[in-house]
Amino acid sequence: MSEPVAEIEVEIQNEEGLHLRPAVQFVDVASRFRSAITVSHGSVQADAKSVMEMTLLAAACGSRLKIRAVGPDASDAVAALGELVAKNFPPTSKPAEAKKEG
């Protein structure tokens, strides 16, 4: 059975773009899911669970990004990330969790 796929397009509203703190938040959220998640702009792609790739992508591409998840929790992943972007990366009150990456 092929794995579920979910995809959305988002526009980063954050005034400062996808800077390091939001990028880390993004990666933290993405890392909670089992699906493989990619973020892209045109042909440039990044693994949503890699802060290095995310910050390089953001640096290069600015604000219009496509988020695509492949895996059992694909739609949940995409929904969570979409919500994060829509809410404009609200700062969390507890320390960002440094979770192990998949």
Q: Which residues are catalytic?
A: 19
Phi, psi of 21 (to 5 degrees): -65, -50
Phi, psi of 66 (to 5 degrees): -110, 130
The number of residues making up the chain comes to: 102
Residue from 12, 10, 9, 8 nearest 88 by CA: 12
Nearest-approach distance from CB 2 to other proteins, in angstroms = 25
Point out which residues bind other proteins (CB under 8 A).
16-17, 19-21, 24, 27-28, 47, 50-53, 55-56, 58-60, 91, 95-96, 98, 100-101
In the complex with other proteins, the residue whose CB is nearer, 2 or 87, is 87
Nearest-approach distance from CB 25 to other proteins, in angstroms = 9
